[in-house]
Amino acid sequence: GVRKVIAERMLQSLQTTAQLTLNASADARALQALRKRLKESPEALGLRGITINDLVLFAVARTLPAFPSLNALFTGAEIHQYRSVHLGVAVDTAKGLMVPVVRDASSLTLRQLSTEAKRLAAACLEGKITPDELNGGTFTVTNLGAFGIESFTPVLNPPQVGILGVCNI
């Protein structure tokens, strides 16, 4: 079933790709202050439900075009770089880890990106995600910060060349 496929892909990733983890800390006070302001914003703006993860996804989507070597896929002998960011968002489900893809994430507003990421996560959790929604990512973000995790090694999602693992604040 689904769990077997997920396990096979993760094992294949670990066995066939060069796994490298770099750790860095960042001062997140400005990020937390921004989230606080958004939670207090007028309801009509539709930004009250924005999470720290949404802000991270938005920052990654807007930053990746400046680093095309990370917004890329390695397909055998070639690396294909992409202008559009198709952002994989790791979602933990009862059936295992799933990575739905927010298409053209770099062209979305914060509100649009948040809405789409939440829609895809809900589809994963409800077992309603489609194969097309799980394919085509050019970079992945996985966030274990809500679980208090201080450090971890995210597993690359081939053929992607990069993944960002986010820890607690």
Question: What are the residues whose beta carbons fall under 8 Å from the beta carbon of 45, sequence distance 6 or more?
Answer: 111
Element (H, E) at 130: none
62 domain residue, yes or no:
yes
In a domain, residue 40? The reply is no
Helix, strand, or coil (residue 126):
coil
Asked whether residue 29 is domain-assigned, the answer is no
Return the CATH number at 55.
3.30.559.10
Q: Which residue segment(s) compose the domain that 159 sits in? A: 2-18+51-166
115 in any annotated domain? yes
The string of pLDDT tens digits covering residues 108-162 is 999 999 999 999 999 999 999 999 999 999 999 999 988 899 988 898 888 999 9
32 within a domain of the structure (yes/no): no
Contact 114, 121 (CB under 8 A): no
38 part of a folded domain: no
Say if 37 falls within a structural domain: no
Instruction: Let me know if residue 45 belongs to a domain.
Output: no
Q: What is the CA radius of gyration of the chain?
A: 16
Measure the CA–CA gap between 43 and 46, rounded to whole angstroms.
Answer: 6
Q: Say if residue 65 is preceded by a cis peptide, omega within 30 of 0.
A: no
Q: What is the pLDDT of residues 101-118, one digit of tens each?
A: 999 999 999 999 999 999
Q: What is the pLDDT of residues 57-83, one digit of tens each?
A: 999 999 999 999 999 999 888 999 999
* Alpha-carbon span 20 to 120, nearest angstrom: 28
Q: What is the pTM of this model?
A: 0.89
**Burial profile 6-24: b = 16 or more Cβ within 10 angstroms, e = fewer:** beebbeebeeebeeeeeee
Q: What is the total count of domains within the chain?
A: 1
Maximum alpha-carbon separation in the chain: 51
